[in-house]
């Protein structure tokens, strides 16, 4: 797994929806040809030009990524769903999500039922939060930041056309485009839950601000992080395999700790043990700790549904463990 894939999956969907959109299509969608017949033959209707074929090295199409996701994850039989109960008997639910590639329809009915019967829906960021981080100073183009060798490999993986379009974009955008190349971007569980909350008139809240997440993305998803991915992802087959394995692992619902291969890949990408520990704390554990005071208020009131990235639920520093240590009864829900 590329060392920064975890970042894609644990950062809020608000970030992914901005940065991991499918790249602009290089195919011009057209209706059926309407050639006008003439006595001397036929000519192409000027209002209906022929479709433009995508470049040979274009990223996989949305149809391709949907098919790959369905094959890797037909359903999620064992979601990361926990009941959190107070000493007074009030219960809320905590769901670990995967921000891309999985839709609500793949999860068992207990997830939707628990959500629609809640009186508050809590996400990493409140859907109503439109705050943004202050703009960063203009940086050099991506090819300058990466250097000739890494830029050539990035163009090889991303495709020349997409890479050239990303050259003047933030590094974080290029990084997420690359890591999410084989992700099904038509399904985003957090966003579907947000839309369900809006449809069912369930109030929403957030655990941190969108501005905070924006700043965190720009800090951690830098040129060094992208170069680290380029070290361990030799071909597109590596990117495809990583997406498949991570999605299949999430859908199996069997993880209790972070994937150790991510740690090994970060070492291969040039990060020291101290730097890896700092990154993990910034992206996961510090955020987990900061959420607990607000979560205690929320679960104390009861009947809330809380949805955060699944990696936030893993291990002794995960949210379930932190809540359990504070006297709450946290139980994995078995459909």
Please state the rounded mean pLDDT for residues 240-246.
Answer: 93
Least confident range from 38-47, 66-75, 114-123, 187-196: namely 38-47
- Residue 123: which of 187, 183, 195 has the closest Cα? 195
Least confident range from 85-89, 213-217, 247-251, 321-325: namely 213-217
pLDDT by residue (tens digit) across 129-176? 998 888 777 679 999 999 999 999 999 999 999 999 999 999 989 999
Query: What sections of 117-259 are H helices per DSSP?
Result: 142-146, 148-158, 160-166, 171-179, 189-199, 210-220, 223-232, 236-252
- DSSP code per residue over 92-123: EEEEEE-SSS--GGGS-HHHHHHHHT-SEEEE
Residues 6+ apart with CB under 8 A from 319: 94, 288, 291, 292, 295, 308, 312, 313
- At residue 264, the pLDDT reads 85
Please tell me which residue, 116 or 8, carries the higher pLDDT value. Answer: 116
Query: Is 205 strand, coil or helix?
Result: strand
Instruction: Indicate the average pLDDT of the chain.
Output: 86
Please tell me which residue, 243 or 30, carries the higher pLDDT value. Answer: 243
Least confident range from 54-58, 313-317, 319-323: namely 54-58
State yes or no: pLDDT of 9 exceeds 50: no
């Amino acid at each position: 797994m590329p060392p920064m894939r975890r970042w894609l999956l644990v950062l809020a969907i608000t970030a992914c929806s901005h940065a991991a959109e499918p790249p602009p299509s290089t195919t011009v969608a057209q209706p059926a040809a309407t050639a006008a017949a003439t006595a001397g033959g036929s000519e192409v209707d000027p209002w209906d030009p022929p479709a433009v074929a995508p470049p040979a090295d274009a990223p996989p199409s949305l149809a391709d990524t949907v098919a790959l996701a369905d094959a890797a994850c037909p359903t999620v039989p064992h979601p990361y769903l926990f009941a959190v109960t107070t000493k007074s008997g009030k219960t809320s639910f905590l769901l670990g999500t995967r921000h891309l590639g999985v839709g609500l329809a793949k999860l068992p009915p207990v997830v939707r039922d628990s959500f629609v019967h809640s009186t508050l829906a809590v996400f990493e960021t409140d859907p109503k939060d439109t705050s943004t981080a202050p703009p960063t100073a203009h940086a050099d183009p991506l090819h300058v930041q990466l250097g000739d060798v890494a830029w050539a490999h990035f163009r090889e993986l991303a495709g020349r056309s997409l890479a050239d379009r990303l050259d003047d974009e933030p590094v974080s955008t290029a990084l997420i485009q690359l890591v999410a190349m084989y992700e099904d971007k038509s399904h985003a569980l957090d966003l579907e839950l947000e839309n369900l909350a809006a449809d069912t008139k369930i109030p929403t809240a957030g655990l941190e601000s969108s501005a905070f997440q924006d700043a965190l993305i720009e800090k951690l998803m830098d040129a060094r992080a992208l170069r680290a991915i380029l070290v361990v992802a030799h071909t597109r087959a590596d990117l495809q395999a990583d997406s498949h394995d991570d999605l299949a692992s999430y859908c199996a619902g069997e993880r209790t700790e972070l994937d150790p291969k991510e740690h090994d890949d970060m070492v291969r990408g040039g990060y020291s043990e101290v730097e890896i520990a700092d990154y993990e704390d910034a992206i996961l554990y510090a955020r987990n700790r900061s959420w607990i005071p607000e979560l205690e208020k929320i679960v104390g009131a009861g009947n809330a549904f809380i949805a955060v990235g699944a990696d936030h639920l893993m291990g002794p520093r995960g949210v379930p463990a932190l809540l359990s240590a504070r006297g709450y009864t946290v139980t994995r829900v078995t459909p």
